[in-house]
Structure 1
Amino acid sequence: MVGQVTDAREQIKDLSTRMGHAIIGQREVIDRLLIGLLANGNLLVEGLPGLAKTRAIKALAHNLEAKFSRIQFTPDLLPSDVTGTEVYHQSGDKAEFRFEPGPIFANIVLADEINRAPAKVQAALLEAMEERQVTVAGNTHTMEPLFMVMATQNPIEQEGTYPLPEAQMDRFLMHVLITYPPVEDEVEVIRLVRGEEIAAMEVQQTKTVSETPSAIPQDAVFAARREIGAIHASEAIERYMADLVNATRIPSKFGEDLARWIEIGASPRASLALDKCGRTHAWLAGRDYVDPEDVRAIAPDVLRHRLGLTFEAQGEGVTPNKVVSELLKQVALT
Structure 2
Amino acid sequence: MASTSIAVPQSNQGPKLVVRIVSIAALLFLVLIALVQIMPFVFTVANSFKCLPAIQEAPMAIIPLPPIDPACRAENGNMLPGSATASGATFNPSFEGYRAIFGRDFGRWTLNTAFLSVIVTVLRLGFDSLAGYALARLKFPGNRAVFFLILGTMMIPGVVLLIPRFIILKQLGMLNSFTGIIIPLMVDAFGIFLMKQFFESIPGEIEEAAQVDGADRFTIFFRIVLPMATPALTALAIFSFQGMWNNFLDVLLVLQGNASLWTLPLGLALIRGTSGETLDWNIFLAGSVITTLPLALVFFVFQRYFVEGVSYSGLKG
Name the structure where helix makes up a greater proportion of residues.
2
> Whose Rg is larger?
2
Per the normalisation by structure 1, the TM-score is 0.24
Per the normalisation by structure 2, the TM-score is 0.25
Answer 1 or 2: higher relative contact order, Cα 8 Å, separation at least 6.
2
Name the structure where strand makes up a greater proportion of residues.
1
